């Protein structure tokens, strides 16, 4: 199992019972230009994970703003 923080989404990748690759994604309100991958720390709380993702966006773009509500 591998977790990825892509900024605009969090994903978990694993092998299914028949050997197929399976990925489960959750969109975030944080825009980061793609491609972008960081390890997803599943030991963090939701609040900590979102704060870390916002910091990644700030580091990558020099700014941070949430996506508009109509986009989510």
What are 2-38's pLDDT values in tens digits? 999 998 899 999 999 999 999 999 999 888 888 888 9
Q: How far apart are CA 59 and CA 12, in angstroms?
A: 23
Residue 63 has pLDDT above 80, yes or no: no
Assess contact for 3 and 12: CB atoms under 8 A. yes
Look up the pTM and report it: 0.75
Residue 59's pLDDT band (boundaries 50, 70, 90)? Answer: low
Q: Name the residue with tokens 């960081």.
A: 38
């Amino acid at each position: 199992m591998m977790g990825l923080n892509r900024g605009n989404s969090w994903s978990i990748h694993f092998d299914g019972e028949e050997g197929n690759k399976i990925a489960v994604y959750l969109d975030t309100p944080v825009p980061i230009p793609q491609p972008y991958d960081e390890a997803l720390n599943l030991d963090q709380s939701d609040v900590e994970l979102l704060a870390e993702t916002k910091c990644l966006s700030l580091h990558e773009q020099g700014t941070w703003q949430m996506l508009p509500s109509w986009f989510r």
